Amino acid sequence: MSSHAPRAWWILAAPLVFLILWSAGFSVAKIALAQAQPLTVLALRYGVTTAILLPVALILRPAFPRGRASWNVVVVGVLIQVAYFGFCYVAFKMGTSAGAVAVVVCLQPILTALAAPHLTGETIGRRGWIGLALGLTGALLAILGRSTVAAESGLGLLACVVALFGITGGTLYEKRFGAGHHPVAANLIQYAAALALCLPAAWLTEDMGIHWTPDFLAAMAYLVLGNSLLAMTLLLAMIRAGEVARVSSLFYLVPPLSALFAWPLLGETMPPLAWAGMGLAAAGVAMVTRRRKAPVPR
């Protein structure tokens, strides 16, 4: 019994830690994007992350996946790190508002719930669908409470749609084909693959100029340590430990929490409607994640 307690506690704490790290990353990314172009930011982020993981891998010598298993890790990395983050950053740089990006991306739990029965064999149920609907409504209220999503760049919105399918495909692919790989090995493969794509793309399409301000350095440190290393490790671990639709429902809380972090970091206020939306989104996530008793981890 006692041997199960540490892992059970970790699973309970992981969603909260993940949401804080992931949600704050949107405001931090906007700070970094004020000093460099999107693919340049991503290439630097993934390059630094890979440089950190390489000596760690040499010291720990974890077992690396081989053959098809290694390519499965690469696919997840490309879908999440390149398609999701890359096109979100491009949308921001095109002038698409944070509200518009969040409106599109927060559809991810719905897409995941629709696809999960066919790809992973998971079922949602009436209570789960009600929770998903509440979460979507709350997220939209929180977004619209801060800004009016109108007159957005068509290309920017298209980039958001690509990002949406990237994160949805990445989570579903990880659930179906992912295995219990060592986090250092899995992360190193993913970020090396993302770097291999983002670096030449940045070199071909951007001037790769960077203003090395204190704000940029602080933002990059957070994106590497908070987002790339901690948050991604938690996300992949939660997907493997639980149902993908339940984990994806957490993304309903990302837009309102991102709005909350934008208050001190970017000076964007949180009106009453946004607070109400955050509460409704939290209620919806609670319905999805607690719709039935979770199995005891073994």
Section 149-165 average pLDDT: 75
pLDDT score for 161: 84
Would you place residue 2 in the very low, low, confident or very high pLDDT band (cuts 50, 70, 90)?
very low
What integer best gives the mean pLDDT of the chain?
79
Of residues 208 and 275, more confidence is placed in: 208
Mean predicted confidence (pLDDT) in 35-53: 96
What average pLDDT does this structure show over 156-185? 84
> For 223-240, what is each residue's pLDDT tens digit?
999 999 999 888 888 877
Overall pTM > 0.85: no
Which stretch, 108-112, 160-164, 277-281, has highest mean pLDDT? 160-164
4-42 per-position pLDDT tens digit: 444 555 566 788 888 889 888 888 888 899 999 999 999
pLDDT computed for residue 295 by the predictor = 42
User: DSSP string spanning the chain?
Assistant: -GGGHHHHHHHHHHHHHHHHHHHHHHHHHHHHHTTB-HHHHHHHHHHHHHHHHHHHHHHH-PPPP-THHHHHHHHHHIIIIIIIHHHHHHHHHTT--HHHHHHHHTTHHHHHHHHHHHHT----HHHHHHHHHHHHHHHHHHHHHH----S--HHHHHHHHHHHHHHHHHHHHHHHH-----HHHHHHHHHHHHHHHHHHHHHHHS---B---HHHHHHHHHIIIIIIIIIHHHHHHHHHHS-HHHHHHGGGGHHHHHHHHHHHHH-----HHHHHHHHHHHHHHHHHHTSSPPPPP-
pLDDT at 120: 56
Higher-scoring residue by pLDDT: 209, 279: 209
Read off the pLDDT of residues 71-124 as tens digits, 9 standing for 90 and up. 999 999 999 999 999 999 988 888 776 666 766 777 777 777 667 665 655 566
pLDDT of residue 155: 81
Is 62 a residue whose pLDDT tops 70?
A: yes
pLDDT over 90 (residue 197): yes
